[in-house]
Amino acid sequence: MRKYINNIQFKFKFIPTLVFLIFFALFIRLGFWQLDRAEQKKVINDQYKSRQEATKIDLNRESEINSDTFLWRKARGNGSFYVEKNILLDNQILNQTAGFNIITPFKLEGSPWSILVNRGWQPNLSTRKIIPVIESISKLDNIEGHLVKFPVSGIKLGEDNIEVINASMIRLQRIDIEEINSFYSTQFLPYMIFLDPIVDQNLISNFSLPVPQSEKNYGYAFQWFAFAITLLIIFLRLSMRRKS
């Protein structure tokens, strides 16, 4: 098939044209798919941001325990920490750096429930044999922060999830609430609270929205559209001949 524009002749062969159309359509489709993913993430994050603006939940007075509407809400509670029962949650990544979260159980005053309190993140030490120094927060009798689902950890290494480090510290590969209830002989709420603000000077907050922000998806969409335009230019250039 031939087309003429001024003194330029375009000659389109069937097979190269078919291959071009397939990949051009694919790149365009992938670009719009990334835009759609970006919009979905924005909607989810906007919903959870609006939850954080709602009235704080009083954990000592709340009777409804398993409501998903609590997630990402701000909450507060009074009680006392189990200062000798700290947890190291292993395999937690922050900014592409491996580390662990320090979690301390908190008994809610006047309630049958306890809650796991995420105090912050710390990068891995040079060897697992080194025991991290955890500051005592026994004097802190009230907590505030964000209610979230238990963080996702990597695969469980070995048969035992609970590794007893010493009398006041254990290491977990993942959080299994039934296992934690049995180990501590108490009842924990089915979510944890990220302290806000962080009380430990040497820890970093790794609280984040439920899905990553949309910037990467917009970047990927731009790349796919750029591939499509580049492919179009190459295809037209290779099909182009000057009319003698």
25 and 79 in a single domain? The answer is no
Provide the domain limits for residue 138.
73-195
Model pLDDT, residue 201:
85
As a whole number of Å, the CA-based R_g of the chain is: 27
Residue 53 lies in a domain: no
204 belongs to a structural domain: no
DSSP 21: H
Statement to judge: residues 138 and 111 lie in one domain = yes
Residues 120 and 155 in one domain: yes
Question: Does residue 134 form part of some domain?
Answer: yes
| Residue corresponding to tokens 């820890």 | 203
Query: Does any domain span residue 167?
Result: yes
Supply the pTM of this predicted model. Answer: 0.72
Strand, coil or helix: what is 50? helix
Instruction: Give the integer Cα–Cα distance in Å for 17 and 206.
Output: 50
Determine the pLDDT at residue 244.
Answer: 57
Whether the Cβ atoms of residue 192 and residue 118 lie closer than 8 Å to each other: yes
Same domain? 184 vs 218 = no
Give the mean pLDDT of the chain: 85
Which carries the bigger pLDDT value, residue 223 or residue 13? 223
Residue 242: CB atoms within 10 Å: 8
Question: What gap in Å lies between CA 150 and CA 118, rounded to an integer?
Answer: 10
pLDDT at 200 over 70: yes
Annotate 225-241 with three-state secondary structure: HHHHHHHHHHHHHHCEE
Distance between CA atoms of residues 23 and 73, nearest Å = 45
Confidence grade of residue 50 (pLDDT, cut at 50, 70, 90):
confident
With respect to residue 234, please indicate whether it lies within any of the assigned structural domains: yes
How high is the pLDDT of residue 69? 77
Query: Is the domain of 131 the same as that of 222?
Result: no
Whether residues 85 and 12 fall in one domain: no
Of 110-124, 156-170, 222-236, which gets the smallest average pLDDT? 156-170
| Domain contains 178 | yes
On whether both 77 and 183 belong to a single domain, the answer is yes
Does residue 183 sit within a domain?
Answer: yes
Residues 92 and 185 in one domain: yes
CA distances (Å), 113 to each of 152, 177, 236, in order? 23, 13, 69
Q: Looking at the structure, do residues 88 and 171 belong to the same domain, yes or no?
A: yes
Measured CA to CA, the distance from residue 140 to residue 134 in angstroms comes to: 14
β-partners of residue 8 are 5, 242
Residue entry with tokens 């009398």: 167
State whether 190 and 224 are in the same domain.
no
What percentage of the chain has pLDDT greater than the value 70? Answer: 89
In a domain, 99, yes or no: yes
Examine residue 197 and say whether the peptide bond preceding it is cis (omega within 30 degrees of 0).
Answer: yes
Residue 153's pLDDT is what? 56
**Do 94 and 153 fall within a single domain?**
yes
| Distance of alpha carbon 31 from alpha carbon 225, whole angstroms | 6
**How many domains in the chain?**
2
Strand stretches in the chain, DSSP E: 2-5, 8-11, 57-58, 74-81, 86-94, 97-108, 114-123, 142-148, 162-166, 169-172, 188-195, 240-242
104 and 182, same domain (yes or no): yes
> For 129-181, how does the pLDDT look when each residue is reduced to its tens digit (9 = 90+)?
888 888 888 888 899 999 988 876 555 555 568 888 888 899 998 888 899 99
